[in-house]
Amino acid sequence: MRTLREYEAVARERLDPVHYDYFAGGAGDEVTLRANEEALARLALVPRVLRGGARRELGVTLLGTAASMPVLVAPTAFHRLAAPDGERATVRAVAAADTIMIVSMASTVAVEAIAAEAPGAKLWFQLYIQPDLGFTEAIVRRAEAAGCGALVVTVDSPALGRRERDDRNGFHDLPDGLYCENLRFGDSPGHVRQIAMSPEISWDHVAWLRDVTDLPVVLKGVLHPEDARLAADAGVAGLMVSNHGGRQLDTVPATIDVLPDVVAAAGGLPVLMDGGIRRGTDVLKAIALGASAVAIGRPVVWGLAAEGEQGVKGVLERVRDEVDHALVQCGCASVRDLDRTFVR
Ligand code: FNR
């Protein structure tokens, strides 16, 4: 497999079609799902020439966590549907690539076990704030104790998106034996709670969370510039422009199309972006338009389903190589050399 899209083709052959649909699908007519990739493809890179420099530096430091490249692993649920050891395989590959894994709250391996699998792995934890604040706090304490360096609070999910492929396939629950292990408090299956996606969650909850933890808080799923302003006022540490890979509200804009407005409104906060990143050139476009780094969701799952740990390593090394190659072709020694003039 030489490209991220080739990993998807192999993953599709290996996966149960119902699980493939769960990973690949989006909400509604999948307009936003398609738009993420299409909007990136519509943008052109405008390289600079004759700038000298033989080496590139790909590393970035985000909220105190150093990563060897500006490509993070977005939180995706249920890795054990893609490979038997699930998130354990993912974290070994991410640690080898020296980038950041944002562990999904809906992981099928507990955050403590993920951390133990690859000591030194750089983990952040994705959180859906639960209406039960005591329960939310207990999960936060587990993420802290496991060594996670930031909390990525997903705010685009006041209700679960309408994923019609899953409805058609009747896929609504994990198969027997797999659980959302971060929601297990106790030993029997009955001690695993369900994730609540609640429209009650508000800025007051963000203020509460900042009181409860010293970890930097990143809000994931911000698309409206006014929310970026409110987030800056709320004292969060960063933002992630995301439409959940087109899985929540269909027909919201492609993330790359709203990124510049969110960056302008964010008052200097670091802004990450995900959605449709499939090539090194996509990474450069997002960074040129103001992202501090990007994250990839599905490509990691495709790597995992295709070849387990090796597959995730392959995906991360291919995207790294493509970023490096695109930088050299753009006359840049580092992602810091990119700005808006490189994109039209
Ligand atoms: C997700 N995403 C997601 N986000 C989140 O905050 N918590 C989660 O548990 C999940 N789970 C999840 C499962 C699957 C199968 C997918 C595809 C996505 C959204 C994810 O973090 C990210 O925003 C998108 O996947 C980015 O888009 P691409 O890279 O998949 O195009």
Using CA atoms, how far apart are residues 128 and 158, in angstroms rounded to an integer? 10
By alpha-carbon position, which residue is closest to atom 10 of ligand 1? Answer: 76
State if residue 244 touches ligand 1 by the CB under 6 angstroms criterion.
yes
Residues (pLDDT < 50) of the chain are none
Using CA atoms, how far apart are residues 307 and 301, in angstroms rounded to an integer? 10
Instruction: Give how far the C-alpha of residue 245 lies from the chain's centroid of Cα atoms, to the nearest Å.
Output: 9
Cα(312) to centroid(ligand 1), Å? 16
pLDDT score for 189: 64
State if residue 307 touches ligand 1 by the CB under 6 angstroms criterion.
no
**Long-range CB contacts (< 8 A, 24+ apart) of 177-181?**
178/78, 178/80, 178/81, 178/108, 179/108, 180/77, 180/105, 180/106, 180/107, 180/108, 181/107, 181/108, 181/109, 181/110, 181/111, 181/113
pLDDT per residue as tens digits for the range 146-194? 999 999 999 999 999 999 999 999 999 999 999 999 999 977 767 899 9
DSSP string, 168-206: HHT--SPPTT---GGGB-SSSGGGBPPPP--TT--HHHH
Assess contact for 66 and 344: CB atoms under 8 A: no
pLDDT score for 2: 97
Q: ipTM of the predicted structure? A: 1.00
pLDDT score for 115: 98
In the residue annotation, 19 being an active-site residue is answered as no
Assess contact for 103 and 295: CB atoms under 8 A: no
pLDDT score for 186: 79
* Ligand 1 pocket, mutate which of 194, 247, 278 (most atoms under 8 A from CB): 247
> Structure pTM?
0.99
Q: Which residues contact 87 (CB under 8 A, 6 or more apart)?
A: 79, 80, 103, 107, 108, 109, 114
pLDDT score for 124: 99
